[in-house]
Structure 1
Amino acid sequence: MDANQETVANPFGMDEDCRQCPALCETRTQIVHGYGDVSADFLVLGESPGSGADATGVPFTDDEGGRAVLSMLSELGFVDAADGDEPTVENVFLTTLTRCHHPERGPTDDEVRNCEGFLTAEIRMINPEIILPVGQRPLDALAAEYTTKRVDDFDVEDDHATTIRGRGFELVPVIAPEEQTDEQRAALLDHLASLLDRDYRQTKGRRGR
């Protein structure tokens, strides 16, 4: 699977008519695959597309929760603006555990499993240095797959704005930005700024960009 360097929307050409989850086929407007810089060092992982992403086709856009994430990334210089439907991004890739929106509930375990191949392919192709799981569900999924600890050892409230060593990259758990206190937001921005100030590529050595 090769990346289309000319596009930031679904750059790996993943299936845009997947029908593995019949219930979601009935509720989604479109499938929302990853969006961003295919050579990014940072990957932001949400749980599922919100209502805004379902309308735009771009993760974390056009609704309150998504704009809160983009606002955080904008402060760090990864995103040009928090309110655009097709933000300009640099050194960050935006994606979610599942790819279809349901207006009344989060994804089931089966739906998460059905989308595992999409996420695994994006992580392998992008090979990020640092992954930011936004919320407990994304943290649990990454912990189970990419760390040597038990999932029960991780709690997004306790681990927020800290660094956890994963297999080949680092995790920085994030409480959903719209739920953060001012102190939690400041701690996260300070922690990420400190990662940008140091040579975070020491996680697995430098790579060609």
Structure 2
Amino acid sequence: MKNVTDRTSNPFGLRPPFDRTPDGERTAVFGYGDANADFHVIGDHPGVHGGKRTGVPFTETESGRGVQDVFRETGFVTGPEEKPELENLYLNYVHMCCLPNGHEPSQREYDDLERYFDAELRAINAHILLPVGETATDHVLQEYTTQRRRFELDMANLHARQLRGRGFMVVPIREPSEWDAGDREKIVSSLEEILASDYRQTKGVATLVG
């Protein structure tokens, strides 16, 4: 059963378990968008995909803006870049907490946030998971599919492919800052193909598309 909430930012009221930011800075970039969405985009952390200033995932950075632009073209995103309106789309991060500039999360910090990420993913209960970049893709394939052992973590090869998950379809997205010629068109084409299909039938069944 889908949840019923119209809250756009942090719809489930998550509270980060730690804070490494200086006084006055944003503690975390929470999930944002349509909590009843069929499409769920998953990034790494605010230092990579943005939001430390805006509080909105996939803003501010080159990779963040690149992802938002793809979903704007395919009809999921309207409105201003820094506070977009999302339809049938939810955005969040594997690691929601903000860190001082230039710092990367430790494995322990990723592990500390795993239960929060998993709870939100299952509450959204989307049909299509779209992890962005190597870290998010590795995590999603490991935890939500039986496919991880079948693939080298080669984002150029996995980009825009439609993969079977445990009740989900997983469509990895290469970091936009690393896109080669044609990568943007590949993910736009894959999204358009999914939208034109009966993608809701992938939920809860072992369907391999593509």
Taking structure 2 as the reference length, what is the TM-score of the superposition? 0.86
Q: Cα gap change, 1:195/1:57 in structure 2, threshold over 3 Å: closer, same or farther?
A: same
Q: Which deviations, in whole Å up to 9, do the C-alpha atoms of 1:129-183 show, x marking residues without a partner?
A: 0011100100111111111234572422211111110101010010012321231
Shift of 1:200: 0.6
- Equivalent position to 1:29, from 10, 26, 31: 26
Q: Which deviations, in whole Å up to 9, do the C-alpha atoms of 1:48-94 show, x marking residues without a partner?
A: 0137401111111123221111111101111114x522110000000
Counterpart for residue 144 of structure 1 = 142
Q: Does 167-176 or 46-55 show the bigger shift?
A: 46-55
Counterpart for residue 12 of structure 1 = 12
The answer to whether the 8 A contact 2:21-2:98 is kept is: no
Counterpart for residue 132 of structure 1 = 130
Shift of 1:7: 1.8
- Equivalent position to 1:114, from 109, 112, 115: 112
Q: Does 194-203 or 172-181 show the bigger shift?
A: 172-181
Shift of 1:3: 5.9
Counterpart for residue 193 of structure 2 = 194
- Match of 2:46, SS state, is coil
How many angstroms apart in 1 are the aligned matches of 2:12 and 2:159? 30
Shift of 1:8: 0.4
Q: Cα gap change, 1:151/1:8 in structure 2, threshold over 3 Å: closer, same or farther?
A: farther
Q: Tell me which stretches of 4 or more aligned residues in structure 1 moved more than 6 Å.
A: none
Q: Does 92-101 or 54-63 show the bigger shift?
A: 54-63
How many angstroms apart in 1 are the aligned matches of 2:114 and 2:152? 20
Q: Cα gap change, 1:111/1:205 in structure 2, threshold over 3 Å: closer, same or farther?
A: closer
Counterpart for residue 40 of structure 2 = 43
The answer to whether the 8 A contact 1:3-1:11 is kept is: no
Q: Which deviations, in whole Å up to 9, do the C-alpha atoms of 1:100-157 show, x marking residues without a partner?
A: 2332133221111111112111111111100111001001111111112345724222
Identity of aligned residues (%): 38
The answer to whether the 8 A contact 1:46-1:133 is kept is: yes
Q: Does 120-129 or 4-13 show the bigger shift?
A: 4-13
Superposition RMSD in Å: 2.2
Letter of the 1:196 partner, please give it: L
Q: Cα gap change, 1:136/1:7 in structure 2, threshold over 3 Å: closer, same or farther?
A: same
The structure richer in helix per residue is: 1
Counterpart for residue 180 of structure 2 = 181
How many angstroms apart in 2 are the aligned matches of 1:164 and 1:98? 23
The answer to whether the 8 A contact 2:38-2:88 is kept is: yes
Q: Cα gap change, 1:170/1:195 in structure 2, threshold over 3 Å: closer, same or farther?
A: same
**Number of matched pairs:** 200
Unaligned runs of 5+ in 1: none
